[in-house]
Amino acid sequence: MIDEHTDSEAKRSGSFWRELPILLGVAILVAVLVRAFVLQTFYIPSPSMEHTLNVWDRVLVNKLVYDFREPRRGEIVVFKAPADWQSGTEGEDFIKRIIGVGGDHVVCCDAEEHLMINGHSLKEPYIYTDADGKQDPAADEKFDITVPAGRLWVMGDHRSASGDSLEHWEQTEDIQEATIETDAIVGRAFTIFWPVGRATWLSVPSGFDGVPAPAAAN
């Protein structure tokens, strides 16, 4: 006599093993699509964003957000570095904070050595502070620029250790060379997820709240 209970279990087991490759294939496809179009992880290889982001921190990047709106001041973004910014690795990704968007007038500095954006003094408590409590200056050289339309002025939080818009402005005094195209952005870094002890949201600092819109061009 056939044990129908055992026969049913055998059929279910056989069905599972036949379907497993399909399930694995679907899972891999979903993972690839998510990485390509929605979310991607990046690790921090340099000290240019300390101590907001430390070396070997891992961040999660939203790759869809700028399909629906423009980048905003204060957001931390991953972008494809312009050729002149790269250290030799083709297609190198950089991570910096957006300071100025198209049309913004960015100046260093006010009487208290803060950057000014469209006449608004920017308080930046996130700028790197060393073990002795000494904070980097907002910029190591005075400048007065207007960000071209469709481009971004980006800076690292560790101002003295960042290859960013200011460094390339000092080298070239060419505003196109010193800024990045909005289209070069890979996505917005919105959280540190590793190491677990440093996990946090990467929100826009409150100092950017009062920055007015740029004056209309004449």
* pLDDT tens-digit readout, 97-119: 999 999 999 999 999 999 999 99
Tell me: do 51 and 159 sit in the same domain.
yes
Q: Is residue 91 part of a domain?
A: yes
Q: Is residue 130 part of a domain?
A: yes
Q: Is residue 218 part of a domain?
A: no
Tell me: do 27 and 125 sit in the same domain.
no
Tell me: do 81 and 130 sit in the same domain.
yes
Q: Which of 9-23, 56-70, 176-190 has the lowest mean pLDDT?
A: 9-23
8 A C-beta contact, residue 81 and residue 94: yes
Tell me: do 56 and 23 sit in the same domain.
no
Residue 177 confidence class, pLDDT cut points 50, 70, 90: very high
Burial class (CB in 10 A: 0-12, 13-18, 19+), 45: exposed
By three-state DSSP, how is residue 101 classified?
Answer: coil
Number of domains in the chain: 2
Tell me: do 32 and 109 sit in the same domain.
no
- The sign of the dihedral angle between the CA atoms of 124, 127, 133, 137 is negative
Tell me: do 30 and 60 sit in the same domain.
no
Place of tokens 């469209």: 118
Residue-level pLDDT at 188: 97
Tell me: do 33 and 52 sit in the same domain.
no
Catalytic residue among 96, 121, 162, 165: 96
Burial class (CB in 10 A: 0-12, 13-18, 19+), 115: buried
- Helix, strand, coil tally for the chain in percent (to 5): 30, 25, 45
144 DSSP β-pair partners: 107
Tell me: do 46 and 81 sit in the same domain.
yes
Residue 125's domain spans which residues? Answer: 40-208
Looking up residue 88, the CATH number of its domain turns out to be: 2.10.109.10
Tell me: do 25 and 51 sit in the same domain.
no
Residue from 77, 41, 75, 73 nearest 57 by CA:
41
Asked if pLDDT for residue 212 goes beyond 80, the answer is: yes
Q: Which residues contact 51 (CB under 8 A, 6 or more apart)?
A: 128, 129, 157, 158
Asked if pLDDT for residue 34 goes beyond 80, the answer is: no
* Residue 96 bears catalytic tag: yes
Residue from 183, 210, 7 nearest 117 by CA:
210
Identify which has the larger pLDDT, 147 or 82.
147
Tell me: do 27 and 84 sit in the same domain.
no
Q: Is residue 13 part of a domain?
A: yes
Residue 92 confidence class, pLDDT cut points 50, 70, 90: confident
Tell me: do 118 and 57 sit in the same domain.
yes
Catalytic residue among 48, 121, 162, 165: 48
Query: Taking residues 161-176, what's their average pLDDT?
Result: 96
Q: Is residue 105 part of a domain?
A: yes
Q: Is residue 216 part of a domain?
A: no
Q: Is residue 174 part of a domain?
A: yes
Separation CA 182–CA 175 (nearest Å) = 14
pTM assigned to the model: 0.84
Tell me: do 80 and 27 sit in the same domain.
no
Q: Residue 69 corresponds to which amino acid?
A: R
**Pairing relationship of beta strands 185-194 and 93-100 according to DSSP bridges:** unpaired
Query: Taking residues 25-29, what's their average pLDDT?
Result: 56
Asked if pLDDT for residue 4 goes beyond 50, the answer is: no
Residue 169 confidence class, pLDDT cut points 50, 70, 90: very high
Residue 39 confidence class, pLDDT cut points 50, 70, 90: confident
Q: What is the DSSP letter of 129?
A: B
Residue-level pLDDT at 218: 40
119-136 residue pLDDT tens: 999 999 999 999 999 999
Q: Is residue 215 part of a domain?
A: no
Query: Taking residues 46-53, what's their average pLDDT?
Result: 96
